[in-house]
């Protein structure tokens, strides 16, 4: 196969990049190691900042998030046992926070991709990125017992921190900035209505941080510091 941009990874970044390139008239193929169903069932994020919602609209996939996302005009900070509402909308000239599951974002992008007839290869095994610093990069992968090749002008590594692209970059070519915190979060996803549907609650207490977030009006996402 031949394409202008071979995108590795069909998470939100790979699919969104594919959509933006397509809108700009640039041909692309997405290559993903998992199945489409697996990607769609992988529960992760759920809170979208304004910049993300705007970008989805620009990419032509903003209709459902606008119709079905739960809009928050404020957030709440809690400390010393007192709730402090912060008027995000008023203080930022109209920006809001939108609760809309990452799986829904992925579904919208997948639907747009198939409606546009763009190629996505799921369940691609042993993906390798080759000659990416030359004029003729090649992506190879295995599927149905055969090795396939995608010739391209550019390879876009959208396969996350543990993916093959980052690991293929020569040592020293990436500058890393990292801060390690001495604690972690326990996250609980529960099919119960959220504590607060109008704002996400960020709470500080003597026993550490707690977050009351949500995925929808019937599904809650809670975090406690450990
Ligand atoms: C529990 C949790 C909660 C989160 N909550 C929020 C939130 O509320 N708001 C927010 O903005 N963000 C949140 N995030 C972060 C958000 O989920 C990530 O930023 C987002 O998934 C990154 O998207 P991505 O497309 O870059 O990577 P990914 O979603 O990781 O996608 C990478 C894709 O590449 C594929 N891949 C990996 N290796 C290979 C390979 N070798 N070959 C081919 N394909 C490969 C993977 O299967 C995957 O589909 C959360 C993350 C987690 C884990």
- The string of pLDDT tens digits covering residues 103-121 is 999 999 999 999 999 999 9
Whole-number Å distance between alpha carbons of 5 and 29? 7
Write down the pLDDT at residue 172. 86
CA-wise closest residue to 157 among 4, 30, 1, 25: 30
Half-sphere exposure of residue 136, counting CA atoms within 13 Å on the CB side?
2
Mean pLDDT of the chain: 94
Distance between Cα 160 and ligand 1 center (Å): 6
What is the best residue among 160, 164, 223 to mutate for testing ligand 1's pocket, by most ligand atoms within 8 Å of CB?
160
> Averaged over 123-143, what is the pLDDT?
96
Q: How large a percentage of the chain has pLDDT more than 70? A: 100
> Averaged over 31-41, what is the pLDDT?
95
Write down the pLDDT at residue 171. 85
Which of 8-17, 37-46, 217-226 has maximum average pLDDT?
Answer: 8-17
Segment 164-202, tens digit of pLDDT? 999 999 888 888 899 998 999 999 999 999 998 889 999
Ligand 1, atom nearest to 102 Cα: 17
Q: Which two tokens stand for residue 165?
A: 């692209």
Q: Which two tokens stand for residue 185?
A: 């979060």
What is the best residue among 159, 165, 200, 221 to mutate for testing ligand 1's pocket, by most ligand atoms within 8 Å of CB?
159
Q: Which residues pair with 190 in a beta bridge?
A: 220
Write down the pLDDT at residue 217. 87
Grouping H, G, I as helix, E, B as strand and the rest as coil, residue 182 is coil
> Averaged over 65-72, what is the pLDDT?
94
For residue 82, what pLDDT band results from cuts at 50, 70 and 90?
A: very high
Ligand 1, atom nearest to 187 Cα: 1
Write down the pLDDT at residue 215. 84
Sign of the alpha-carbon dihedral angle for 147, 152, 154, 160 = negative
Whole-number Å distance between alpha carbons of 75 and 88? 7
Q: Where are the domains of the chain?
A: 5-46+101-168, 70-99+178-225
Is it true that domain 70-99+178-225 has CATH number 3.30.9.10?
A: yes
Domain 5-46+101-168 class in CATH: alpha beta
Distance between Cα 13 and ligand 1 center (Å): 8
Indicate if the pLDDT at residue 44 is higher than 90.
Answer: no
């Amino acid at each position: 196969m031949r394409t202008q941009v071979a995108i590795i990874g069909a998470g939100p970044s790979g699919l969104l990049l594919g959509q933006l390139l397509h809108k700009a008239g640039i041909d692309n193929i997405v290559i993903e190691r998992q199945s489409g169903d697996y990607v769609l069932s992988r529960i992760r994020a759920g809170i979208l900042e304004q910049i993300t919602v705007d970008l989805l609209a620009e990419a032509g996939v903003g209709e459902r998030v606008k119709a079905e996302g739960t809009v928050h005009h404020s957030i709440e900070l809690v400390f010393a046992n007192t709730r402090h509402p912060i008027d995000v909308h008023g203080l930022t000239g109209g920006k809001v926070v939108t609760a809309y599951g990452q799986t829904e974002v992925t579904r919208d992008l997948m639907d747009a991709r198939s409606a546009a007839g763009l190629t996505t290869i799921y369940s691609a095994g042993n993906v390798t990125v080759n000659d990416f610093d030359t004029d003729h990069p090649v992506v190879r992968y295995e599927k149905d017992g055969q090795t396939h090749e995608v010739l391209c002008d550019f390879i876009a590594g959208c396969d996350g921190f543990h993916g093959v692209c980052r690991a293929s970059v020569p040592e020293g070519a990436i500058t890393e900035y990292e801060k390690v915190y001495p604690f972690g979060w326990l996250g609980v996803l529960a099919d119960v209505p959220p504590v607060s549907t109008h704002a996400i609650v960020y709470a500080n207490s003597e026993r550490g941080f707690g977050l009351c977030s949500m995925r929808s009006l019937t599904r809650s996402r809670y975090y406690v510091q450990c």
